[in-house]
Chain A
Amino acid sequence: MNIIDARGMSCPQPVLMTKNALKKSPDIVQILVDNETAKGNIERYLSHEGFLVEFQNQDDDILIMGRK
């Protein structure tokens, strides 16, 4: 599965990238971000959409994993 690389993107692009990724893969998605704001925004978005959300710290980055 493709990991969406949203590191370094301004608000609200990480969430938009997540939203677009769900069009291709509606049940499972992984996004890499590098800040807490993007993490919080994507978590909120995925939770609203009914996903289970998990995180994994990778050095300075955070991998967000969402699945239905």
Chain B
Amino acid sequence: MKEKRSIIFAGAVVGILSVLLVYFGNPTNMGFCIACFLRDIAGGIGLHRAGVVQYIRPEVIGLVLGAFIVSIKNKEFKTNGGSSPFTRFVLGAVVMIGALMFLGCPLRMVLRLAGGDLNALLGIGGYGVGIYLGVLFLNKGFSLKRSYKMPSIEGYIFPGINIGLLILLISGAGFLFFSNEGPGSMHAPIWISLGAGLIVGWLAQRTRLCMVGGIRDMILFKDSHLISGFVAILIFAFAGNVFMGYFNLGFVDQPIAHSDGLWNFMGMLLAGWGSVLLGGCPMRQLILAGEGNTDSAVSVIGMVAGAAIAHNFGLASSGAGPTVNGQIAVMISLVLVAIISAANSEFATRRAEA
């Protein structure tokens, strides 16, 4: 029961901080969005040139470093890796392509619903179906195989890169790209964003909060532990939005969202399926990367690469709706995820070993 109380508390804090970050300057319903923020960071370091989505988001740095600090403190920091790293890189990229079709990671999907954006319902529907598909393969013995202990330095590099990014951001390095307009230009002050990230990183590491684990564990084990965090985020962000006057119920004219139901559904189906195969949602990948899991670090870099591809090739949706390129990319990605799912399931790996 104590465990459940702490994850509900963590969800409540995430929900409330998300609303506060909007108050301090983040785009509406985007207090936290791991996909959007990694996309902004990809733009900030010039990996894509979509001028409206470029910024080094301190929330991401805070999430990683919060998890890093608490895992060191509790002696849970362990460097490991080697569980199909390149497959994870590709899965990270396709999760991003799905999330940018919908315009948000699973966390922002919940925050969008909490802000009254009913398009998120289609996203959640797709997300649930995607998770269900992933679970089908888990039940067929899907595995990206074991990770192994690695030299400590391997695990320190990812948190180290985040410290480096923070130094670049604070020093105002001239070679970074920052949006002058659009979502990338809207952000809370650096220290508030960083602080919020650190708090959530800390809590998420302690409670293992995960936006894909909730639905997955309900389907697999009828275990409601993780989903209670998911629901707490929804309830507290909803209450916060109503209190602050941000709540706006409807499908049209929602902030940084489009109302193409089919593609909202398909985008999150892809993100959900890919996340199950990775073993956790994008936020969880950041937390794991902070505690020394280099497979998750590779997944995160895959997401950054996916964001760059999505904006360079015109795959990402905008408020105007999805693009044809994006629709084609989501369909190709789904085929790819299906192949990865099948090829790593027991029926295929057993045959290969025989």
Contact = CB atoms under 8 A, between A and B. Distances in A.
A10 B278 contact: yes
Given A16-B220, A37-B208, A45-B223, A8 B80 contact: yes
A50 interface: no
Interface in B196-236: 208, 210, 213, 216-217, 220-221, 223, 225
A57 B105 CA distance: 37
B221 A15 contact: yes
15 contacts: A8-B146, A8-B148, A10-B83, A10-B143, A10-B279, A11-B210, A12-B220, A15-B220, A15-B221, A35-B78, A37-B208, A44-B3, A45-B223, A48-B223, A60-B149
Contact of A13 (B76, B143, B223, B278): B143
A57 to B, nearest CB: 12
Interface string A2-13: 000001111111
B136 to A, nearest CB: 13
B3 A40 contact: yes
Interface residues of B, number: 26
A19 B148 contact: no
A40 B221 CA distance: 14
A44 B2 CA distance: 12
Contacts of B279: 10-13
A66 to B, nearest CB: 15
A60 B295 CA distance: 19
B147 interface: yes
Contacts of A15: 220-221
B138 interface: yes
Given A12-B213, A34-B80, 10 more contacts: A8-B83, A8-B146, A12-B138, A12-B279, A13-B138, A16-B138, A34-B149, A35-B76, A40-B3, A48-B223
Nearest to A48: B223
